[in-house]
Structure formats: structure tokens, C-alpha cells
Amino acid sequence: MKQVIIMRGDLKISRGKIAAQACHASLGSYKRADETMIRKWEREGGKKVVVKVSDLKELFEIYELVKATDISYFLVKDAGHTELPESTITCLGIGPDEDEKIDKITYDLKLLK
């Protein structure tokens, strides 16, 4: 069980902003997840993995893939109060769900460093 957060790599934002956006993605997707998945994920330690894509186009390609599944997801649009214009799409939260289901969509993405 895990949750994956996919960040856009083309945005020039601070580490703090990245962390805040990842938190929005994590909580948003968590709130949409099936209660059984949430309980199992929490029992297993609540694993989260943060990866990146090159740009908005690549993020939307993954967004379309996850929409076609029963995995919970949440697309984050920034409010525009600090570093980004309003409605800038920053990241996508996926899960929590079974590793194998999420890996079919995110297996080739690199860790965010």
C-alpha cells in the first residue's frame, strides 16, 4: 500500500511551496479513497512516494490514466497567494491503494530530489 504524489518539474518554486502542494495532493486524494484502503494503508505505515514529471502535459497524461481506474486521486490547483498565479496546476496525488495498481501508472517516474 502506498500513496504517490507527482510534482511538476518545470515549476520554479521553493522547497516549502513544493512541500505544501504535496500535502494538498496527499490529503485531497486521501479524502477520496475507499475507507478499506485508508485503514490498510494506515496499518502498513502510510507510505508516500514523491516523484516528478517534466511538465503539465506529462502530468495530464498520468491524470487521464488514473481517472480511468478506481484509484483515488486529487489534482492540485494553486490558490495564487504566494509564488504562483491562481489556478496553476502543481501536482497530482494518487492513492492510497495497492502498490501494484499504482505502479502500473507511475512505475517509470523518477523520485523528486
DSSP symbols for 49-69: EEEEESSHHHHHHHHHHHHTS
Distance of CA 46 to the CA centre of its chain: 14
Q: Which CATH class is domain 2-111?
A: alpha beta
For the chain, the structural domain boundaries read: 2-111
Over residues 84-106, mean pLDDT: 97
pLDDT value at residue 92: 98
Over residues 3-27, mean pLDDT: 97
CA atoms of 72 and 100, how far apart (whole Å): 14
CA atoms of 36 and 107, how far apart (whole Å): 24
pTM of the model: 0.96
